[in-house]
Amino acid sequence: MATPVGKSPAIPHPPGSLLVGLFDSGLGGLTVLRRVHEAYPHTRCLYLGDTARVPYGQRSVEDIRAIAAEVVHWLRGQGVGVLVMACNTSNALALDVAVAEAGVPVVGLIDSVAAQIQSDRVGVLATPATVASGAYRRSIQACRPQAQVLEVGCPAFVPWIEAGDLDAPGLRDAAQEYVAPLIAAGVDTVVLGCTHYPMLRPLLRSLLPAGVTLLDPAEAAVQRLGPLLASLGDAPEADLALDAVIPAQQRSRLCVTGCPEAFAAGASAWLGHRPTVNQVDLRSAGRAF
């Protein structure tokens, strides 16, 4: 069947139902979106994958901040009522930009997971930009000053994941290289500090000692989202009647700045259904839907 692209079918928006905005450079933020769906199946989401500019993780700080400003400005224009950072790189380098642009509450990945870490020997796998920012080390040590934090940049991961090439021998070799210093340092907790990396969980699990705990920051962020949704007056019961028409998970809107067909194909494996994906121009004013 052809991938549905272009204009989404009209999806009813009941009064009282809040729109949660998420963005990432590409497919990675879907690991966050999936957790939001699992935890709050009746909450509607608008996801922006900035695939025209993926990967973010090798860009300059100035680029990452300018991109975050543009994307969050666009999401605000679409009427999101809360923003979940679904990109660690933007979270690490442009959280202040996102907060200033969003005009609505912003839930971060890095501070959310840092507050839950129970170990003093922590490894972080992340993009080169996130590692260079030191954001994970600072956030973890703000909660546990005695913690040793070893951050490793993994530049090869995102291009392979975006290409859907999870069985490439080169990917396994790169993963082996990235986890080696963590194993040598004897960490007992490894943070998946890029939202693309939960897609590599089975590979990373197979390379790390059995006693090492793998943490996906999205889990902690999604826990923070619940009370926030309640305090913002999200009314999931308003959506319940729609279930018969459109399943809850398919009511989220997925948008990209690059090729919608490629994104739909890459997203299906992770979401369990082939989504409708719209291409959008972030500079055009007004609602895309």
Catalytic residues: 87, 194
Cα 106 to Cα 14, 86, 94, 102, 128, distances in angstroms: 23, 11, 12, 7, 24
Among 67, 158, 208, 225, binds ligand DGL (CB under 6 A): 158
Query: Taken in order 53, 166, 169, 154, is the CA torsion positive or negative?
Result: positive
Rule CB under 6 A: say whether 178 interacts with ligand DGL: no
Identify which of residues 56 and 178 has a Cβ nearer to ligand DGL in the complex: 56
Q: Which residue's entry shows tokens 């969003």?
A: 102
Identify which of residues 49 and 275 has a Cβ nearer to ligand DGL in the complex: 49
- Return the structure tokens found at 135: 């954001």
CB of 127 to ligand DGL, least distance (A): 4
Closest by CA to 154, choosing from 121, 117, 192, 187, is: 192
CB of 87 to ligand DGL, least distance (A): 4
240: which DSSP letter? H
Phi–psi pair at 186, nearest 5 degrees: 70, 35
Rule CB under 6 A: say whether 127 interacts with ligand DGL: yes
Among 21, 28, 49, 266, binds ligand DGL (CB under 6 A): 28
Rule CB under 6 A: say whether 88 interacts with ligand DGL: yes
**Of the ranges 10-18, 51-59, 141-149, 278-286, which one interacts with ligand DGL (CB under 6 A)?**
51-59
Query: Taken in order 228, 12, 28, 61, is the CA torsion positive or negative?
Result: negative
Rounded-to-integer distance, Cα 242 and Cα 66, Å: 38
CB of 146 to ligand DGL, least distance (A): 27
The size of the interface with ligand DGL (CB under 6 A), counted in residues, is: 16
CB of 55 to ligand DGL, least distance (A): 3
- Cα 47 to its chain centre, rounded Å, is 9
The one-letter code for the residue type at 48 is: L
- Binding mask of the shown chain, residues 188 to 227, with x at each position contacting ligand DGL by CB under 6 A: ------xxx-------------------------------
- Interface ranges with ligand DGL (CB under 6 A): 24-25, 28, 54-57, 87-89, 127, 130, 158, 194-196
